[in-house]
Structure 1
Amino acid sequence: MTLRVVQVGAGGMGRAWLGTVAADPDVELVGIVDLDLDAARAGAAHAGDPTIPVGTDLTALAAETGAEAVLDITVPAAHHPVTLEALRAGLPVLGEKPAAQTVAEALSLAAAAEATGKLFMVSQSRRYNDQLVAFRQHVRGLGAVGGLSTRFAKAPHFGGFREEMDDVLLLDMAIHAFDSARYVLERDPVSVYCESWNPSWSWYRGDAAAAAVFTFEDDVRYVYDGSWCAPGAETSWNGDWRASGAAGTALWDGDHDPWSDLDGVPGTPPVARSVGDAIAGALASFVHAVRSGGVPDGEVHGNVMSLTMVDAAIASARAGRRIVIDEVLEQAHAAALEAERDESIRARLAAWGSVRGALTAGSADVATAAGSPDVAALG
């Protein structure tokens, strides 16, 4: 059976999703919601069926069309209200990254997923890359891992809102590398020291370059060195990766198959199953999770930490000091409690002990409820 979905958002990224949905035989687009009805109608035409119902009210259109799930492809500022409306309507949600505009809002949505018992998955689309999966397999073969690094250097001229953003690199791009680092290391961050700056030739208003050193669990270090105004000899959009362990080194240039050198002997890890490609892979994972009751990579409890890494790095750059991740989580938790007006969601938030523990337990609880064997893949 196809999964009947309503998509919210028919802008630039929305059109990319509409094309992906149209190409997936396991998904049926039954409605498009947008505040601009002309954009929604254009989106329906782009999806190949101008007769697809459109509207400005998500709850009403979902009820009218018999939708079973929602795709939230809106701007980050709208992620919290749109996802919350869908969860309250009893519909699972697949949303574009980030989970929300702030860590506090992301925690609110994690609590809302608990309160409603509905899946909220964040499409961290760069995780859906078989080369990244293979790189993690190589890293697993290194024995005790001491360090991981990413070098990212691109020079895109976007125009528009990105060139006017504060902390543009950290906010809009670094989350992909940070999230991938969590995936590869299979650990979570403990602290970060970060500096950001804007080179004199930059065409961005906000800082377009940053360097960060994260301490992860087990005293592993992750180093990020990135720039969005680095013309010449550019890296892959996925970055250039190196991992060092007791038995050797693993490398991935972001565009080709990774490899590892185990003290002069090529590493040959087992081949992992394909995870699909980019947003198509995320969509397929979401559909499978909704139908099977399994837990997808990107379930909100596991995804919040990637957004927290971004906030912590920005806080470090502004304060000029090392930032402890748990401090950021606890401050966001307090802000979420203060802002929350839904009693069921507030009760969930209030019941949490440490936020880190609640996020870990929340992921495990979702997996247990679903009877899923894949809890180790969460995050």
Structure 2
Amino acid sequence: MTFRAVASSTGEPLRVVVVGAGAMGRAWLGVVTASEEVELAGIADLDVAAAQEAAASLDRAELPVGSDAVELAQRTGAQAVINVTVPEAHHPVTTAALTAGLPVLGEKPVAESVSRALSLAAAAEATGELFMVSQSRRWNPQVSALKAMTQQLGAVGTVSTEFFRAPHFGGFRDEMAHPLLVDMAIHPFDSVRFLLGSEPVSAWCQTWNPPWSWYAGDANATAVFEFEGGTRYVYNGSWCSPGAETSWNGVWRVSGEKGTALWDGDTDPVLEAEVGDAAEASTAYDGIAGALQVFVQALRSGETPSGEVHENVMSLAMVEAAVQSAGAGRAVRLDDVLERAYDEALQAEQREDVRAALTGWSSVRAALAGVR
């Protein structure tokens, strides 16, 4: 997708408004204020007092705040928005910003549902503004090293992730129907797409909740995804598994025709194959700070970044497919998930320009791949 570039340089940093003053919003505020490439123009939150408290925590009590991100951006001369709101607010906040001529860097997931995500992809097309989703694991140098190793293994048969932890979050996660799949599994689901450079075809998933679980919904899940070319990805995880906990990134194994790559989620991956020395990591970026750097560079160059909304939607589609499979007790085709979401997006869309963009797609999968 082509989008409007925004002129800026390290001598003239990009002015941004951060939307959302919660815990993750404050993490982003720390990254923004530490960057030389951006300048914090203001903080927006429906709870203006929370925005004021966040500004004070940065020793910038004078920083402009407000409840409306677009109004605040226009008032302060901001050139872009960083959306760190709750998932249900991603669609309205991002749509409003794009429509106002403001590119957006948003936290994952792209939206609360695939249908809303498709609407946002169409909104980016209709407005010509960049919408990039921050999937922070994309910018983990160890993930990049694992990808380089994966490319040395020839045909890949199986990729697996083991994830076992026992966090007591409290709050909304404890009440979710599928807390592990919906709130956490999108990270490895996105990572496996990055590793393989291909897209999922089908999903089979079972979820359950052990009797000792402190979650209302299913905190355990096992999912098998078939990818283009026949590779299988197996995810096995739990959010109520005390003892011998894995990394927050999980424990990974990539099995190919020429050997195996292993990653414990915390230290450098290991290649066990007769293919010579392992390739070096292919990224100089890391975490959400890396996502911010890539966003700014994309706006300066006009080059489409990893995580652009069209490219990111399939990661959320994997989550939705897994949830649907668990509910139906059978395998689910990703194309069926996409087509159902597309129909819902068309029915719900209220903006004529976004609807026109949606109706111009030859197919959902083709549109997400950038084929018109």
- 1:46 Cα offset (Å): 2.2
* Separation of aligned partners in 2, 1:29 and 1:303: 26
Do the aligned residues in 2 keep the contact of 1:138 with 1:268 (CA within 8 Å)? Answer: no
Which residue matches 2:102?
Answer: 91
Do the aligned residues in 2 keep the contact of 1:213 with 1:221 (CA within 8 Å)? Answer: yes
* Separation of aligned partners in 1, 2:186 and 2:135: 9
Question: Would you say 1:305 and 2:314 are equivalent positions?
Answer: yes
* Separation of aligned partners in 2, 1:20 and 1:293: 23
Partner AA of 1:110 in structure 2:
A
Do the aligned residues in 2 keep the contact of 1:260 with 1:267 (CA within 8 Å)? Answer: no
Provide the secondary structure at the position in 1 that maps to 2:229: helix
- 1:48 Cα offset (Å): 3.2
Which residue matches 1:336?
Answer: 345
Going from structure 1 to structure 2, the CA distance change for 1:107 and 1:275 (only over 3 Å counts) comes to farther
Which residue matches 2:20?
Answer: 9
* Separation of aligned partners in 2, 1:176 and 1:42: 30
Which residue matches 2:7?
Answer: none
Which residue matches 1:177?
Answer: 188
Which residue matches 1:165?
Answer: 176
Structure 1, unmatched stretches of 5+, are: 366-379
Question: Would you say 1:73 and 2:84 are equivalent positions?
Answer: yes
Going from structure 1 to structure 2, the CA distance change for 1:156 and 1:170 (only over 3 Å counts) comes to same
Provide the secondary structure at the position in 2 that maps to 1:251: strand
Partner AA of 2:241 in structure 1:
A
- 1:303 Cα offset (Å): 0.2
* Separation of aligned partners in 2, 1:117 and 1:349: 14
- 1:296 Cα offset (Å): 1.3
* Separation of aligned partners in 2, 1:59 and 1:78: 14
- 1:268 Cα offset (Å): 1.8
Do the aligned residues in 1 keep the contact of 2:258 with 2:275 (CA within 8 Å)? Answer: no
Match 1:231 to one of 219, 222, 242 = 242
Measured against aligned partners, the alpha-carbon deviations of 1:220-259 in whole angstroms (never above 9, x if no partner) come to 1000001001111111000000011111111011001111
Which residue matches 2:153?
Answer: 142
- Report the TM-score, using the length of structure 1 for normalisation: 0.93
- Identical counterparts, % of pairs: 61
Question: Would you say 1:63 and 2:63 are equivalent positions?
Answer: no
Provide the secondary structure at the position in 1 that maps to 2:63: coil
Do the aligned residues in 1 keep the contact of 2:145 with 2:282 (CA within 8 Å)? Answer: no
- Report the TM-score, using the length of structure 2 for normalisation: 0.95
Question: Would you say 1:252 and 2:253 are equivalent positions?
Answer: no
Do the aligned residues in 1 keep the contact of 2:152 with 2:275 (CA within 8 Å)? Answer: no
Which range is displaced more, 297-306 or 38-47?
38-47
Match 1:211 to one of 214, 219, 222 = 222
Question: Would you say 1:42 and 2:53 are equivalent positions?
Answer: yes
Which residue matches 1:23?
Answer: 34
Measured against aligned partners, the alpha-carbon deviations of 1:99-157 in whole angstroms (never above 9, x if no partner) come to 00110000000000000000000011122100000001111110111110000011111
Going from structure 1 to structure 2, the CA distance change for 1:30 and 1:191 (only over 3 Å counts) comes to same
- 1:61 Cα offset (Å): 1.2
Provide the secondary structure at the position in 1 that maps to 2:207: strand
* Separation of aligned partners in 2, 1:158 and 1:182: 28
Provide the secondary structure at the position in 1 that maps to 2:370: helix
Question: Would you say 1:199 and 2:205 are equivalent positions?
Answer: no
Which residue matches 2:280?
Answer: 271
Do the aligned residues in 2 keep the contact of 1:260 with 1:266 (CA within 8 Å)? Answer: no
* Separation of aligned partners in 2, 1:214 and 1:232: 28
Which residue matches 1:287?
Answer: 296
Question: Would you say 1:350 and 2:366 are equivalent positions?
Answer: no
Provide the secondary structure at the position in 2 that maps to 1:361: coil
Measured against aligned partners, the alpha-carbon deviations of 1:147-194 in whole angstroms (never above 9, x if no partner) come to 100000111111111111110000000000100010011110000110
- 1:267 Cα offset (Å): 4.8
The number of aligned residues is 361
* Separation of aligned partners in 2, 1:57 and 1:325: 36
* Separation of aligned partners in 1, 2:320 and 2:211: 25
Do the aligned residues in 2 keep the contact of 1:261 with 1:267 (CA within 8 Å)? Answer: no
* Separation of aligned partners in 2, 1:229 and 1:260: 31
Structure 2, unmatched stretches of 5+, are: 1-11
Question: Would you say 1:117 and 2:104 are equivalent positions?
Answer: no
* Separation of aligned partners in 1, 2:152 and 2:302: 31
How well do the aligned residues superpose, as a CA RMSD in angstroms? Answer: 1.1
Which residue matches 1:369?
Answer: none
